């Protein structure tokens, strides 16, 4: 827990490998987007590593924010720099609608 950047899941990857693949996949998704917008759906570890990469934070900071199920994070790329619009917005998962 203290050094997630050094951990390796048995028969799995390091966070560095996950981050590398995630960043590459986002770049591919953005390069193929006609209007420059891409929606990426992913799991907890992948979104955490993406957020850290976008913010320029070390992988050791993996546990410094929550990643809720169905959380929405929005980033904008302008002039080769990322702007954080939202991280882990999940109010939509707590709304209760009447059953009809």
Q: Which CATH class is domain 4-93?
A: alpha beta
Task: Provide the pLDDT confidence category of residue 97 given band limits of 50, 70 and 90.
Answer: low
Going through 1-100 in order, the beta strands assigned E by DSSP cover 72-78, 81-89
- pTM value is 0.82
Give the pLDDT confidence of 29-46 residue by residue, as tens digits.
Answer: 988 888 888 899 999 999
Q: What is the mean pLDDT of the chain?
A: 88
Rounded to whole angstroms, the Cα distance separating 55 from 62 reads: 12
Using alpha carbons, list the distances in angstroms from residue 12 to 18, 46, 64. Answer: 10, 13, 22
- The 10 Å Cβ neighbour count of residue 82 is 13
Rounded to whole angstroms, the Cα distance separating 4 from 23 reads: 18
């Amino acid at each position: 827990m203290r050094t997630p950047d050094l951990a390796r899941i048995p028969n799995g990857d390091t966070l560095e490998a996950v981050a590398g693949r995630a960043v590459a996949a986002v770049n591919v998704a953005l390069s193929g987007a006609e209007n420059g917008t891409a929606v990426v759906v992913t799991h907890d570890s992948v979104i955490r590593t993406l957020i850290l990469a976008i913010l320029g934070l070390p992988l050791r900071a993996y546990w410094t924010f929550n990643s809720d199920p169905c959380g929405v994070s929005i980033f904008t790329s302008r002039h080769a720099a990322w702007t954080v619009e939202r991280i882990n917005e999940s109010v939509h998962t707590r709304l209760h609608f009447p059953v009809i």
